Amino acid sequence: MKTVDILLLGAGGREHALLKKLAESSHAGRLYVAPGNGGMLQLAELAPVNQDDPKQVAEWAQDNNIGLVVVGPEAPLVEGVADAVRAKGIPCFGPNADAARMEGSKEFAKQVMARANVPTAAYQSFTDKDECVAYVTKLDGPCVIKADGLAAGKGVIVAQTTQEALDGVDLCFDGAFGDAGKTVVVEEMLEGPECSLLALTDGTTVVPLATSQDHKRAYDGDKGPNTGGMGVYSPVPEHLVSTDALDAMVDVMKRVVAQLKYDGITYSGCLYGGFMLTKDGPKVLEFNARFGDPETQVVLPRMHADLVDVFLACDNGTLDSASITWGDDWAVSVVLASAGYPGSYESGKVITGIGDAARMDGITVYHAGTKLDDAGNVLTAGGRVLDVTAVAPTFAQARAKAYEACELIDFEGKQFRTDIGARAL
Whole-angstrom Cα distance, residue 306 to residue 1?
12
User: Can residue 396 be called a binding residue for ligand AMP (CB under 6 A)?
Assistant: no
Site string for ligand GLY, 204-233 (x = CB under 6 A): ----------x--------------x----
The one segment of 49-57, 67-75, 184-192, 348-356 that binds ligand AMP by CB under 6 A: 184-192
Sign (positive or negative) of CA dihedral 398, 211, 333, 425: negative
Cβ-based neighbours of 80, under 8 Å, separated by 6 or more = 54, 96, 97
Residues 213-232 that bind ligand AMP (CB under 6 A): 216
Cis peptide before 235 (omega within 30 of 0): yes
- Minimum distance from CB of 113 to ligand GLY (Å)? 17
- Minimum distance from CB of 38 to ligand GLY (Å)? 21
Residues 292-311 that bind ligand GLY (CB under 6 A): 292-293, 295
**Strand ranges, E, within 264-419:** 269-278, 281-288, 303-304, 325-326, 330-337, 363-367, 370-372, 378-380, 384-392
User: Can residue 195 be called a binding residue for ligand AMP (CB under 6 A)?
Assistant: no
Residues 333-352 that bind ligand AMP (CB under 6 A): none
Q: Which of 217, 218, 216, 198 is nearest to 208 (CA)?
A: 198
Cβ-based neighbours of 114, under 8 Å, separated by 6 or more = none
Total residues contacting ligand GLY by CB under 6 A comes to 6
C-alpha angle 205/209/212, rounded to 5°?
150
Task: Select 37 or 288, whichever has its Cβ closest to ligand GLY.
Answer: 288
The one segment of 92-100, 127-135, 167-175, 186-194 that binds ligand AMP by CB under 6 A: 186-194
Among 43, 133, 189, 396, binds ligand AMP (CB under 6 A): 189
User: Can residue 113 be called a binding residue for ligand AMP (CB under 6 A)?
Assistant: no
- Minimum distance from CB of 229 to ligand GLY (Å)? 4
Element housing 404 (H / E): helix 395-408
Which 3 state secondary structure label does DSSP give 211?
strand
Among 121, 136, 195, 265, binds ligand AMP (CB under 6 A): 121
Burial of 173 (0-12, 13-18, 19+ CB in 10 A): buried
Q: Which does 335 bind (CB under 5 to 8 A by kind): ligand GLY, ligand AMP, none?
A: none
Q: What is the DSSP string of 251-272?
A: HHHHHHHHHHHHTT----EEEE
Site string for ligand AMP, 142-181 (x = CB under 6 A): --x-----------x-x-----------------------
Task: Select 203 or 282, whichever has its Cβ closest to ligand AMP.
Answer: 282
User: Can residue 387 be called a binding residue for ligand GLY (CB under 6 A)?
Assistant: no
Nearest residue relative to ligand AMP (C-beta): 286
Residues 274-293 that bind ligand GLY (CB under 6 A): 288, 292-293
Task: Tell me how crowded residue 327 is: count the other CB atoms within 10 A of its CB.
Answer: 13
Task: Select 229 or 282, whichever has its Cβ closest to ligand GLY.
Answer: 229
* Rounded CA Rg of the chain: 21
Whole-angstrom Cα distance, residue 316 to residue 422?
41
User: Can residue 103 be called a binding residue for ligand GLY (CB under 6 A)?
Assistant: no
Footprint on this chain of ligand AMP (rule: CB under 6 A):
121, 144, 156, 158, 187, 189-190, 194, 216, 274, 285-286
Enumerate binding residues for ligand GLY (CB under 6 A).
Answer: 214, 229, 288, 292-293, 295
